[in-house]
């Protein structure tokens, strides 16, 4: 029999990241799950800047998980500031378009 051709669909975010409060040096995960056909590519932005993960920089402490979530091996926090703190969004793209998640803030707990 003939199978119905599955239609390509633009991405949509099915799991949005939520605000997290993390102690410095602890791991953290910002969730994001997107659906679409073809499977969308997920990128993260923090305060409007693209977040580099270990795919671009093997020494990065941030890993893009297979589902699209962003995993921090440990939250960096130094005297000069809190480099991981900020507002994150995940963006899922394929050739039909893109979808942007809600904003999630990552805060580092006080000393």
Contact present, 62 and 74 (Cβ < 8 Å)? no
**CATH code of residue 73:** 2.60.40.10
* Residue that the structure tokens 């921090």 belong to: 72
pTM: 0.89
Q: Provide the token pair at 78.
A: 């130094």
Q: Kindly state whether residue 29 falls inside one of the protein's structural domains.
A: yes
* Mean pLDDT across 72-92: 91
Q: Provide the token pair at 86.
A: 């900020």
Q: Kindly state whether residue 48 falls inside one of the protein's structural domains.
A: yes
* Mean pLDDT across 44-51: 96
Range of the domain at 80: 7-106
* Mean pLDDT across 48-57: 92
- The domain tally of the chain equals 1
- Band (111; pLDDT cuts 50, 70, 90): low
- Band (78; pLDDT cuts 50, 70, 90): confident
* Mean pLDDT across 4-27: 94
C-alpha pair distances (Å), 24 with each of 19, 63, 83:
16, 17, 11
Q: Kindly state whether residue 92 falls inside one of the protein's structural domains.
A: yes
Contact present, 71 and 37 (Cβ < 8 Å)? no
C-alpha pair distances (Å), 34 with each of 58, 75, 92:
24, 25, 6
The span from the CA of 76 to the CA of 82, in Å, is: 6
């Amino acid at each position: 029999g003939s199978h119905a051709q599955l239609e390509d669909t633009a991405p949509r975010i099915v799991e949005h990241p939520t605000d997290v409060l993390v102690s410095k040096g602890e791991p953290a995960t910002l969730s994001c799950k997107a659906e679409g056909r073809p499977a969308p590519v997920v990128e993260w932005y923090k305060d409007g800047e693209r977040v580099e993960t270990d795919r671009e920089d093997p020494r990065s402490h941030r890993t893009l998980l297979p589902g699209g979530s962003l995993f921090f091996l440990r939250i960096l926090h130094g005297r000069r500031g809190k480099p991981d703190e900020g507002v994150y969004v995940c963006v899922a793209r394929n050739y039909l378009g893109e979808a942007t998640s809600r904003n999630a803030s990552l805060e580092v707990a006080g000393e």
